[in-house]
């Protein structure tokens, strides 16, 4: 079995998608459709920067999605394949879950772009800049990270596990002082290193509740359809195909933990042996570290990558 997987925030870079757009009219059509849906020249920002603007959450989220879907569309149209024939599951990391749902037909491209714009704006607005923070714990498993988070939360401050990425990397999120306190305590818990992340808000923690409410409203107006293949949901690490359940899980995802390690293992247990990352190369190392057995991974970014994948499908 095969799963198509989609990267999350942090995978953006100036120049993303440009070579693909230069090589394929179908990629250009995706970027133009996203620009039209948002009423902004996002592709110009993706191509030329500045990086500071591309990194803004409200721009990075739709940009990463657009790049992934452009890659998929070139693969499907120029390769003469369909996702439903070549993948049994889709999954995405945080915002990548929206890319996965778009790829599987739960949302059309324009709706996905607008939802991610709202999501990015709502996440940024939920917590004043400087109040929250996130940190990566390197060499930490989930149980140790949870103990550290519990010990660092004090006097009403929040710090919680936001991303369970793989057996050696967990991300915590919450009030800045509590997260900084946790980073200062890593050695006491046998964790190799704690690194504050250059993010503008504390994602995937209870401080994001205002953003969850904004997404609940947006997803009521733009309800998903049933996907053509099941999506492995971030907050449950389990396959889901029911449209209403997907909507509810997307709302929960804003404040909930990204269970990526568990998602990979769930797919592996189902029988997925080939993980294809579209539009990035961030998730495939996490997949290899999370899988309990031998799995095949492919990172598809360039036309050469697409051609190589088509030969193997």
**Which residue in 246, 298, 270, 252 sits closest to 72, CA to CA?**
298
Q: Where are the alpha helices (DSSP H) in the chain?
A: 18-23, 25-38, 42-48, 51-54, 57-79, 83-86, 96-103, 109-126, 142-152, 176-184, 209-221, 243-255, 260-270, 283-290, 303-312
Among 11, 24, 47, 94, which one carries the catalytic annotation? 94
Q: What would the DSSP string read from start to end of 79-129?
A: HT--HHHH-SEEEESTTHHHHHHHHTTSS-HHHHHHHHHHHHHHHHHHS-T
256: CB partners within 8 A, 6+ apart: 204, 234, 235
Task: Note if the bond before 233 is cis, omega within 30 degrees.
Answer: no
Is 94 catalytic? The answer is yes
Q: Which of 93, 204, 290, 298 is catalytic?
A: 204
Q: Is 209 left (phi over 0), alpha (psi -120 to 50) or beta?
A: alpha
Cite the active site residues.
94, 204
């Amino acid at each position: 079995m095969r799963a198509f997987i989609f990267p999350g925030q942090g995978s953006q870079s100036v120049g993303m998608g440009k070579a693909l757009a230069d090589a394929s009219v179908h990629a250009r059509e995706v970027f133009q459709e996203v620009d039209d849906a948002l009423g902004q020249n996002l592709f110009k920002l993706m191509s030329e920067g500045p990086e500071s603007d591309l990194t803004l959450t409200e721009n990075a989220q739709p940009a990463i999605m657009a790049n992934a879907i452009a890659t998929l569309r070139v693969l499907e149209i120029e390769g003469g394949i369909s996702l439903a024939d070549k993948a049994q599951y889709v999954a995405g990391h945080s915002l990548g879950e929206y890319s996965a749902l778009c790829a599987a037909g739960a949302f059309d491209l324009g709706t996905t772009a607008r939802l991610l714009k709202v999501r990015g704006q709502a996440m940024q607005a939920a917590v004043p800049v400087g109040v929250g923070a996130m940190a990566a714990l390197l060499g930490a498993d989930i149980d140790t990270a949870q103990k550290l988070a519990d010990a660092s939360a004090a006097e009403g401050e929040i710090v919680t596990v936001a991303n369970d990425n793989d057996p050696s990397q967990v991300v915590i999120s919450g009030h800045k002082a509590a997260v900084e306190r946790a980073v200062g305590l890593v050695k006491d818990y046998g964790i190799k290193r704690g690194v504050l992340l250059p993010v503008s808000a504390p994602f995937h923690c209870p401080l994001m509740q205002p953003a969850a409410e904004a997404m609940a409203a947006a997803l009521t107006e733009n309800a998903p359809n049933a996907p053509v293949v099941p999506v492995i949901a971030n907050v449950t690490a389990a396959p889901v195909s029911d449209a209403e359940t997907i909507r509810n899980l997307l709302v929960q995802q804003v404040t909930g933990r990204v269970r990526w390690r568990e998602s990979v293992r769930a797919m592996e247990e189902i029988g997925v042996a080939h993980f294809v990352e579209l539009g990035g190369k961030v998730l495939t190392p996490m997949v290899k570290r999370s899988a309990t057995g031998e799995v095949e991974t492919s990172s598809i970014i360039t036309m050469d990558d697409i051609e190589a994948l088509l030969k193997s499908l």
